[in-house]
Structure 1
Amino acid sequence: MTTYDLDDDPDRIDVDAVWAYLSTEAYWGRTRTRADLEAQLASAWRVVGAYNRETGAQVGFARAVSDGVALAYLADVFVLSADRGNGLGKALVRTMIDEGPGSGFRWMLHTSDAHTLYHQFGFTTPDSTVLVRTPNR
């Protein structure tokens, strides 16, 4: 990880870079508007950005929603394709869930890919106590 910096400063997030990825490449982000994303960023409990140390460009991102006490939801984790394969996805997840103020929380997420990544951090298939209400869209 010598070529990247991870930072949880919300003021450092490049909203244009996050929007560019979520609105064109992320299967889960294409139904949102830019205003939706900006509202999510404004209300996020925590954000973590990954930045190229040489250029300062944002190359990765993760967002969390939380009650700040015991429960958090991990969302919008991505690394640009050119920067994958360097352990940056693992570093983003580790920074968000294990190295921050929510390290003792119960974490949740929804994903249809990257299960191997998330399993490394203790995420498992939910048991019969979990119910989910999907949006009516």
Structure 2
Amino acid sequence: MDYELDDDPARIQPDVVWAYLSTDAYWGRWRTRVDIEAQLASAWRVVGAYRADTGAQVGFARASSDGIGFAYLADVFVLPEHRGHALGKQLIQRMIDDGPGRDFRWVLFTADAHGLYEQFGFGAPDATAMIRPSRQG
């Protein structure tokens, strides 16, 4: 199967993003549909992965940023039936290294996929990082 990646926010399919994040994403199921739509609307950058034949969205990544030197990577996913085609790598590549924030300081939070993110230079926080954990779950 062939896929294409696109950073056009108008192409994002909110129903697909909501369906995954509200049921399968361990990191933020507490968010409402309104929350997700607000995050999509205010995102600094989004990247979607799509089936080339149908245009159906099968993957997603979102970033928030100050647009100058810092970005937060969030909500990265590939639908289970489309995994194994390097779409996760392609999403991260397109978002970070091929995008306008390639020289930024990037952060993310993840309980899995450390090996994927390490390929793009992510590692344990350095001595300058402090984190206040979420109170929402």
TM bracket, shorter-chain basis: over 0.9
Aligned to 2:39: 40
Give deviations 1:61-110, integer Å, cap 9, x for gaps: 00000000000000000000111011100000000000011111111000
Distance in structure 2 (CA, Å) of the matches to 1:59 and 1:136: 30
Aligned to 1:127: 126
Tell me the secondary structure at the aligned position of residue 136 of structure 1: coil
Q: Which amino acid aligns with 1:129?
A: T
Matched, 1:79 2:78: yes
Aligned to 2:54: 55
> Runs of 4+ in structure 1 displaced over 4 angstroms?
none
Distance in structure 2 (CA, Å) of the matches to 1:8 and 1:136: 31
Aligned to 1:9: 8
How far has the Cα of 1:55 moved from its partner? 1.0
Tell me the secondary structure at the aligned position of residue 109 of structure 2: coil
- Give the gaps of 5 or more residues in structure 2: none
Pick which of 38-47 and 127-136 moved more.
127-136
Tell me the secondary structure at the aligned position of residue 94 of structure 1: helix
How far has the Cα of 1:40 moved from its partner? 0.4
Indicate the RMSD between aligned Cα atoms, in angstroms: 0.9
How far has the Cα of 1:136 moved from its partner? 2.7
Q: Please show how residues 61-72 of structure 1 align to structure 2 within 5 Å.
A: 61-72=60-71
How far has the Cα of 1:129 moved from its partner? 1.8
How far has the Cα of 1:7 moved from its partner? 0.4
- Give the gaps of 5 or more residues in structure 1: none
Q: Please show how residues 82-101 of structure 1 align to structure 2 within 5 Å.
A: 82-101=81-100
In percent, how many aligned pairs have the same letter?
Answer: 67
How many residues align? The count is 136
Tell me the secondary structure at the aligned position of residue 35 of structure 2: helix
Distance in structure 2 (CA, Å) of the matches to 1:23 and 1:57: 19
TM-score by length of 1: 0.97
Q: Which amino acid aligns with 2:110?
A: T
How far has the Cα of 1:134 moved from its partner? 1.6
TM-score by length of 2: 0.97
Q: Which amino acid aligns with 1:82?
A: E
